[in-house]
Structure 1
């Protein structure tokens, strides 16, 4: 009995955290669809992906940064310790990805993980626009992927 209580207690914070994240994401998605696309001084979009294991539709509000043309950059920071689920889903089913900008319908996109000098130039622009990303990266042992989302 004590062992079951310990397991439940240990699992509760993670379950609450996931629940809270889902509620926060749903609220932000409603705001974006309603035409308001900002959070903490950043532009926000909705990234629509398909679950790599479940096959179910997933939507994730993400900060984005302008790139060449109509492309947008997003950072897979995921709290620092691991790539976020949206990144794994996006890489598993890139052909099914779409983005929604405030008040606009979904647009299909082609994702590209930036590497080398291209990633460094993009990262410099991101950190110049939002220095907090540089601070987050400095605290992580993992190098955050930068993904370009280009409308197709």
Structure 2
């Protein structure tokens, strides 16, 4: 029987450095670099702007996403570390946010997928990332599947 080990992750410092540099690339290029739309069988990247739950300040983060009709779907995974990502905690407190995609920006409202919808969207992500279940098993709590629904300006 094969040994069922979780997929190997790079060191935490590497993950944090990579995403810091990615955010900087998006910022200095005005979003022209570092943001892309998903292609069949692949995810894209977006820049999410939330309002800090404690500070009330604007907070930006770059996330992977897939499309589900008009909705954008991401995972609240924090680089597979145990704590919930700050952007997800901010959205739980204040669900209205802004999403910047390659070439466009629009307001969204966030919510966690539940039940059959969560299962369906998790399966979509599993089809893209074969190691998803092994990575998610590293976290002490279930990884939230976050839906960003378009809202009127």
TM over 0.5: yes
Moved over 4 A (4+): 17-21, 29-32
Structure having the larger proportion of residues in helix: 1
CA contact under 8 A between 1:75 and 1:144: conserved in structure 2? Answer: yes
Q: In structure 2, what is the equivalent of residue 91 of structure 1?
A: 92
Q: In structure 1, what is the equivalent of residue 122 of structure 2?
A: 123
Q: In structure 2, what is the equivalent of residue 27 of structure 1?
A: 25
State how far apart, in whole Å, the 1-side matches of 2:20 and 2:34 are.
Answer: 19
Distance 1:62 1:32, change over 3 A: farther
Q: What is the number of equivalent residue pairs in this alignment?
A: 135
C-alpha root-mean-square deviation of aligned residues, in Å?
2.7
Kindly name which structure, 1 or 2, has the bigger radius of gyration based on alpha carbons: 1
Query: TM-score, normalised on structure 1?
Result: 0.76
Q: In structure 2, what is the equivalent of residue 42 of structure 1?
A: 43
Q: Give structure 2 stretches of 5+ with no counterpart.
A: 1-11
In the TM superposition, what whole-angstrom CA distance separates every residue of 1:43-81 from its partner, at most 9, and x where no partner exists?
Answer: 1000110111111111100000111x2111010011330
Distance 1:54 1:45, change over 3 A: same
